Amino acid sequence: MFRLKKTLTAIGAMTLALATAAPVIAQDRPGEGVKITMARPTWDTGWFQTEIYSQMLGELGYDVSQPMTLDNAAFFQAVALGDVTMWADGWFPQQDVYRDTFEDGAEIVGAVARGGALQSYMVDKASADKFDIKTLDDFKRPEVREAFDRNGDGKADLVSCPVGWACEEIIQHHLRAYDLVDHVNMITANYSASMADALAAYHDGESILFYAWTPNWTAAELKPGEDAVWIEVPFVELMDGAKELEETAVWPGIEGCVADPCRLGYIANDIVSVVNSEFLTENPAVRALLEAAEVPLTDVFAQNALMNSGDQDVAGHAAAWIADNREQVDGWLATAREAAAN
């Protein structure tokens, strides 16, 4: 796990090294004079890896823009057209619904993190124990609905995904498939704001139901198994196009789940970079870097917790992480430079 306290020291050391180093030869900066228009998603839990990749590309000489915040649909259209170059926040196969939008002009390269990106539904542990909540089906019970009804509409309130996120469509699909439309109310406002409101309610002793994923800051505030538990879906019901992946929607050994194996109902996802194909053809160094690099989910989780605590210096967090992993990063950069030279 990276150590944020090293940020200023690391940046100072890098500055000194740059000031005293020998002149940089051309092949060390194969991206010199080439612009990258970087994008990032509307969920801020992905901004850390965006900044890490931006800084590594900068070390290769690329002129990387400040990231443009886009929702899924806008990004995939823009990257196919070349209006943006890339992002490091694709979730696949969950975002396979966008393949027809981008695959004529862009492609998936490498993986920030393969598998292990959990997502499903969580309930505060006190309420799960009190009402013996095991699956979403339990929200059909009147006493459970009433306990989780915070706006008085007769339905349990679920902190859901904002409109435009792929998970929002999946949650709608689940509510229909499990006959929960009349029992559960989706809150689709800004996720961070909605979760902050839910956390305040939790600390006031109220019951909360929320969609969660990892890596995410929510696991620092509501520790799985201690403060909140993963509950199961009644049965696995994936959307069209993902039916053959049903086995990956049941996970063994999930900390804080009400059962083992845990029927989460969401497929395993890789977090990947999606890049304009023409740009990749012209810049083999970028392809090589993206195929080599990765960021541990535990490190993303730790940085997300820092952001949630009020420390918004994402660029500083990324610089500290790079400094703490300098030897590995240098190996990735060497691979990229070699690809550019061949």
Tell me how far the alpha carbon of residue 146 is from its chain's centroid.
32
Q: Identify the pLDDT of residue 312.
A: 93
CATH fold for the domain made of 4-115+270-341: D-Maltodextrin-Binding Protein; domain 2 (3.40.190)
pLDDT per residue, tens digit, the chain (342 aa), is 445 444 434 444 444 444 444 444 458 999 999 999 999 998 888 999 999 999 999 999 999 999 999 999 999 999 999 999 999 999 998 888 899 999 999 999 999 998 767 889 999 999 999 999 999 999 999 999 999 999 999 999 999 999 888 889 999 999 999 999 999 999 999 998 999 999 999 999 999 999 998 878 888 789 999 999 999 999 999 887 666 678 778 988 888 999 999 999 988 788 999 999 999 999 999 999 999 999 998 898 889 888 888 899 999 999 999 999 999 999 999 999 999 998
pLDDT, position 26 = 52
Of 70, 106, 96, 93, the closest CA to residue 275 belongs to 106
CA distances to 25, 101, 319 from 41, rounded to whole Å, are 35, 17, 20
Show me where the domains of the chain are located.
4-115+270-341, 119-263
Please give the Cα distance from 137 to 123 (Å, whole number). Answer: 13
Partner residues linked to 276 by β-bridges? 106
CATH of 119-263, one of 3.30.1490.20, 2.40.50.100, 3.40.190.100, 3.40.50.300: 3.40.190.100
The per-residue pLDDT for 241 is 63
So what's the pLDDT on residue 240? 73
DSSP state of 22: P
Q: Which pLDDT value is given to residue 226?
A: 95
Q: Is 283 exposed, middle or buried (0-12, 13-18, 19+ CB in 10 A)?
A: buried
Q: Is 79 exposed, middle or buried (0-12, 13-18, 19+ CB in 10 A)?
A: buried
pTM over the 0.85 mark: no
Distance CA 115, CA 117 (A): 6
Separation between Cα atoms, residue 13 and residue 254, nearest integer Å: 40
Residues in the chain: 342
